[in-house]
A and B are shown apart, each in its own frame.
Chain A
Amino acid sequence: MIRLENVSVYYTKDAPVLRNVSFTVEKGEAVGLIGANGAGKTTLMRALLGLLPHEGLITVDGTEVTPKTLPEIRRKMGFVLQNSDNQMFMPTVYEDMIFGPMNYGASREEADARVDAVLARLDLADLKHRHNHKLSGGEKRMAAIATVLAMEPEVLLMDEPTSALDPRNRRLIIRTIRELPETKLITSHDLDMIWDTCDRVIVLGRGSVAADGPAQEILQDRALLEANRLELPLRLAGPDGA
Chain B
Amino acid sequence: MNRMDRSLLELREMDTLAAGDSPVHRLHALAKLLTTVAYIIVTVSFGKYQLDGLLIMVLWPALLFSLSGIPVGTCFRKLRFVLPLVMAVGLFNPFFDRAPLLTVGGLTVSGGVVSMITLMLKGLFCLAASFLLMATTSIDDLCAALRRLHLPSILVTLLLLTYRYVGVMTEELSVMTDAYHLRAPGQRGIRFAAWGSFLGQLLLRSMDRAEELYGSMQLRGFSGNFAYAEDRRFTGRDALWLILWTAAFVLCRLYNIPGLLGRLLTGGIR
Q: What is A's interface to B at a CB cutoff of 8 Å?
A: 46, 49, 51, 71, 74-75, 78-79, 81, 83, 85-87, 89-92, 95, 98-105, 108, 111, 131, 133, 147-148, 151
In the docked arrangement, what's the CA distance between A108 and B213, Å? 24
Q: What is the distance, in angstroms, from A113's C-beta to the closest C-beta of chain B?
A: 15
Smallest Cβ-Cβ distance to B138: which chain A residue: A91
Contact for B216 among A86, A103, A133, CB less than 8 A: A86
Max count, chain A CB within 10 A of own CB: residue among B16, B220, B225, B228: B220
SS class, residues of chain A in contact with chain B: helix
20 more A-B contacts (CB under 8 A) besides A95-B228, A111-B228, A131-B15? A49-B219, A51-B215, A71-B223, A74-B221, A75-B221, A79-B216, A83-B209, A83-B212, A86-B213, A89-B164, A89-B213, A91-B16, A99-B217, A99-B220, A99-B222, A102-B228, A103-B220, A104-B221, A131-B16, A151-B220
In the docked arrangement, what's the CA distance between A101 and B228, Å? 8
B97 on interface, CB distance cutoff 8 Å: no
Cβ B164 vs Cβ A131 within 8 A:
no
Chain A residues whose CB sits within 8 angstroms of the CB of B218 once the complex forms = 51, 74
Chain B residues whose CB sits within 8 angstroms of the CB of A79 once the complex forms = 216, 219
Chain B residues whose CB sits within 8 angstroms of the CB of A90 once the complex forms = 140
A-B interface, 3 closest residue pairs, ranked by CB to CB distance from nearest: A103-B221, A100-B220, A102-B228
**16 CB < 8 A contacts A-B:** A46-B215, A74-B220, A78-B219, A79-B219, A81-B212, A87-B216, A90-B140, A92-B19, A95-B228, A99-B220, A103-B222, A103-B223, A103-B225, A103-B227, A104-B221, A131-B12
Chain B residues whose CB sits within 8 angstroms of the CB of A111 once the complex forms = 228
Smallest Cβ-Cβ distance to B231: which chain A residue: A108
Cβ B219 vs Cβ A74 within 8 A:
yes
Cβ A102 vs Cβ B231 within 8 A:
yes
Cβ B219 vs Cβ A91 within 8 A:
no
Chain A residues whose CB sits within 8 angstroms of the CB of B171 once the complex forms = 85
Contact for A86 among B138, B212, B221, B231, CB less than 8 A: B212
Max count, chain A CB within 10 A of own CB: residue among B18, B225, B228, B231: B228
Max count, chain A CB within 10 A of own CB: residue among B213, B215, B219: B219
Cβ B228 vs Cβ A103 within 8 A:
yes
Contact for A98 among B18, B164, B222, B228, CB less than 8 A: B228
Cβ B12 vs Cβ A102 within 8 A:
no
Chain A residues whose CB sits within 8 angstroms of the CB of B12 once the complex forms = 91, 131, 133
Contacts A98-B228, A102-B231, A103-B225; is A89 near B219 (CB within 8 Å)? no
Chain B residues whose CB sits within 8 angstroms of the CB of A98 once the complex forms = 228
Max count, chain A CB within 10 A of own CB: residue among B138, B216, B217, B218: B216
Max count, chain A CB within 10 A of own CB: residue among B16, B213, B218, B227: B227
Contact for B221 among A71, A91, A92, A133, CB less than 8 A: A71
Cβ A147 vs Cβ B220 within 8 A:
yes
Chain B residues whose CB sits within 8 angstroms of the CB of A78 once the complex forms = 219
Cβ A105 vs Cβ B227 within 8 A:
yes
In the docked arrangement, what's the CA distance between A133 and B209, Å? 16
Chain A residues whose CB sits within 8 angstroms of the CB of B138 once the complex forms = 91, 95
Contact for A99 among B209, B215, B228, CB less than 8 A: B228
Of residues 209 through 246 on chain B, the ones whose CB sits less than 8 Å from some CB of chain A are 209, 212-213, 215-223, 225, 227-228, 231
Chain A residues whose CB sits within 8 angstroms of the CB of B231 once the complex forms = 102, 108
Q: What is the distance, in angstroms, from A145's C-beta to the closest C-beta of chain B?
A: 13
Chain A residues whose CB sits within 8 angstroms of the CB of B164 once the complex forms = 89
Contacts A74-B221, A79-B219, A102-B228; is A95 near B16 (CB within 8 Å)? no
In the docked arrangement, what's the CA distance between A49 and B164, Å? 23
Chain A residues whose CB sits within 8 angstroms of the CB of B223 once the complex forms = 71, 103
Of residues 67 through 104 on chain B, the ones whose CB sits less than 8 Å from some CB of chain A are none
Q: What is the distance, in angstroms, from A98's C-beta to the closest C-beta of chain B?
A: 5
Chain B residues whose CB sits within 8 angstroms of the CB of A83 once the complex forms = 209, 212
Q: What is the distance, in angstroms, from B150's C-beta to the closest C-beta of chain A?
A: 20
In the docked arrangement, what's the CA distance between A241 and B231, Å? 56
Chain A residues whose CB sits within 8 angstroms of the CB of B221 once the complex forms = 71, 74-75, 100, 103-104, 151
Q: What is the distance, in angstroms, from B256's C-beta to the closest C-beta of chain A?
A: 43
Chain B residues whose CB sits within 8 angstroms of the CB of A75 once the complex forms = 221
Chain A residues whose CB sits within 8 angstroms of the CB of B18 once the complex forms = 91
Chain B residues whose CB sits within 8 angstroms of the CB of A101 once the complex forms = 228
Contacts A74-B221, A75-B221; is A89 near B216 (CB within 8 Å)? yes
Q: Mark B179-198, 1 if CB is under 8 A from A, else 0.
A: 00000000000000000000
In the docked arrangement, what's the CA distance between A114 and B10, Å? 32
Q: What is the distance, in angstroms, from A222's C-beta to the closest C-beta of chain B?
A: 35
In the docked arrangement, what's the CA distance between A85 and B167, Å? 11
Q: What is the distance, in angstroms, from B29's C-beta to the closest C-beta of chain A?
A: 14
